[in-house]
Copies of this chain bind each other. A is one copy, B any other.
Amino acid sequence: MRLLIARCSVTYAGRLTATLPPAVRLVMVKADGCVAVHADGGAYKPLNWMNAPNTLTEEHGDDDVLRWRVENPQGETLEIAIEEIRYDWSEPLGEDPGLSKDGVEAHLQELLADHPDAVEDGLELVRREYPTDIGPVDLLCRASDGAAVAVEIKRRGELPAVEQLARYVERLERDPLLRPVRGVLVAQRIKPQARTLAEDRGLAWIEVDYDLLRGIDSGELRLF
């Protein structure tokens, strides 16, 4: 990794054009060749950057300005004109053992598979990941009135989730053994627009509380 604190101006030309006037910034070059220009604020996103793979060429201008030109295979370019270097540090850090994540996402589906009645009273699970030719439905259930219910589970309920569920229900409706099929979108939070579209498509929606569900689940486990 190389860390350069320098007064520089930057231009990116590619999917859009973005320019930075001269100022003191951090230029970070990682071992994989990616380059990022950071200001002293504004979250972790750099002002300008170029991801690997790319090629970096350096040239000295006659005006004491060092010019870096970073280009990627798509022809996008990042040009950094370095007027003054304040600090320059470089050393390999070595491989990183990597990040391990423990997500909330998969757990939510497990919990609801165990407690389908949290979605609708009397609902019983038929199968998780019920296959259709456009992909698996998260949960296929049977309601107390005998109707099939397709449940789509998301952490956040947005428009694409409604479309996805609508497609599933449409497919499942073609199966005479399942028909009629209702659809329910379940999420921790469902956006107003998604609610509107769901209702419009004849789909139900419900927000569930993850912590509450987990509490119910662990409470029941304690009974055994």
A residues at B contact (CB < 8 Å): 1, 3, 5, 15-21, 23-26, 28, 30-32, 34, 36, 38-49, 51-52, 86-87, 89, 91-104, 133-135, 155, 159-160, 163-164, 167, 193, 196-197
Contact = CB atoms under 8 A, between A and B. Distances in A.
B49 A44 contact: yes
Q: Which of A20, A43, A97, A193 has the most CB of B within 10 A?
A: A43
Contacts of A98: 20
Q: Which of A40, A48, A100 has the most CB of B within 10 A?
A: A40
Contacts of A15: 103-104, 155
A40 B92 contact: yes
A101 to B, nearest CB: 5
A193 B134 contact: yes
Contacts of A48: 99
A23 B96 contact: yes
B38 A34 contact: no
A160 B36 CA distance: 30
B102 A40 contact: no
